[in-house]
Amino acid sequence: MNKNIAVIRGDGIGPEIVEQALKVLNKISELYGHTFNYTDADMGGCAIDKHGDPLPESELKKCLDSDSVLLGAVGGDKWNNVPGHMRPEKGLLRLRAGMGVYSNNRPAKIWPQLASASPLKKSIVDKGIDFIIVRELIGGIYFGEHKTVEENGQKNAIDILAYNEEEIERIGRIGFETARKRGKKLCSVEKSNVLDSSRLWKAVMHKLAEEYTDVELSDMLVDNCAMQIVKNPAQFDVVVTENMFGDILSDEASMITGSIGMIPSSSLGKTTCGLYEPIHGSAPDIAGKDIANPIGTILSAAMMLRFSFDMPEEADCIENAVSKLLDDGYRTADIMPSDEKEAAKCKKIGCTECGELILERMAK
């Protein structure tokens, strides 16, 4: 198969981790006879520096013309003081909106080899952590009106959170469909005791539940959900929620699985052209040191093969190689066990070495 992939390396650790994912994709083409054509696209801080814009039209077009987009991460202190509409993260929001990818799928699964890297008690981890957060990605407060006005000598900052029925229904369907393919349990997370948008969210979810009678729907307030994720994560199968709640909960969920560096994500809309990225940011504190964990990005590339290119065997090949790497005791710094005895059984590796060792373990 011949596929065109737009590659956004971005800022901070972005270029280092994307490089490893590209090596892995190249190995897949070699093993399975596919051709992946890469087009570099600029977004984020590096695009501000080069083009004066976090996502110029020319770069968005490269992404829209591709079969899918692989992204590292964007942002960093250097651009903290630029105006709000020019921030690196604005490029990301525009990319998601431009591609129409309204459904962000973030798995929170603990690799058995990393159980001791979870900050949770062993008794909780042993019950299992394996759920998916389906997050609405192009609506809600991140896309509402933002303004700061001066009133009575005081600054008043306003961010609007709005959802219409159609936006809720389309992400709700993804939640139900995802649950249908897994444990058939869907937890809809909102703040309906306070927010109108959440009351509408809840009503639409319950209307949809009449169509998906094989899926058990439950409701949970977001504050309770934040607590339940650390208290009893085994209760969750699929969580569906709005943009900001999903952003926060998925970082929390990633942490209980060991490290934010391990978690991939896929974002899809009406077409198979998806956006694939690790869930972490550009980690400026470790950028350029060759110590970042590239596995979240490598697994994002695997998700691209599975969900956009219909290459399940190739995706399995990457995921199995990652599993073998962990079986063999290799760990980047973020997933080294904190316990000294456990750490002594592991071998600490850097970002490039991690990519190389995964390549060595890839076989058809």
Catalytic residue list contains 102: no
Alpha helices in 188-288 (DSSP H): 196-209, 222-231, 243-256
91 is a contact residue toward ligand NAD (CB under 6 A): no
Per CB under 6 A, 172 contacts ligand NAD: no
Q: Is 263 in the site for ligand NAD (CB under 6 A)?
A: no
Residue type, 269: G
Question: Which CB, 74 or 132, lies closer to ligand NAD?
Answer: 74
Handedness of CA 348, 354, 359, 363 (dihedral sign): positive
Options 3, 9, 41, 75; binder of ligand NAD; rule CB under 6 A: 75
Per annotation, catalytic residue among 40, 49, 223, 310 = 223
By the rule CB under 6 A, 286 interacts with ligand NAD: yes
Q: How far is the CB of 245 from ligand NAD (least distance, A)?
A: 16
Q: What whole-number distance in Å separates Cα of residue 350 and Cα of residue 290?
A: 6
- Tell me: does residue 205 bind ligand NAD (CB under 6 A): no
Interaction between residue 301 and ligand NAD (CB under 6 A): no
Smallest distance, ligand NAD to C-beta of residue 341, A: 23
Q: Considering the rule CB under 6 A, would residue 282 count as an interface residue with ligand NAD?
A: yes
* Catalytic residue of the set 247, 276, 330, 334: 247
* Rounded-to-integer distance, Cα 38 and Cα 61, Å: 14
Measured from the CB atom, is 98 or 183 closer to ligand NAD?
A: 98
Separation in Å, CA 202 to CA 160, 199, 205, 217, 224:
19, 5, 5, 11, 16
Decide if residue 105 touches ligand NAD (CB under 6 A).
Answer: no
Could you confirm whether 231 is annotated as catalytic? no
Position among 283, 302, 305, 318 found at the interface with ligand NAD (CB under 6 A): 283
How far is residue 222's CA from residue 137's CA, in Å, rounded to a whole number?
A: 17
With residues binned 3-state (H G I as helix, E B as strand, rest as coil), the percentages for the chain, rounded to 5, are: 50, 20, 30
142-169 residues labelled b (16+ CB within 10 A) or e (exposed): bbeeeeeeeeeeeeeeeeebebeeebbe
Side-chain half-sphere exposure of 253, counting CA atoms within 13 A: 33
Is position 281 an interface residue for ligand NAD (rule: CB under 6 A)? Answer: yes
Catalytic residue positions? 142, 191, 223, 247, 251
| Residue ranges binding ligand NAD (CB under 6 A) | 13, 17, 73-76, 89, 92, 260-261, 277, 280-286, 292-293, 296, 334
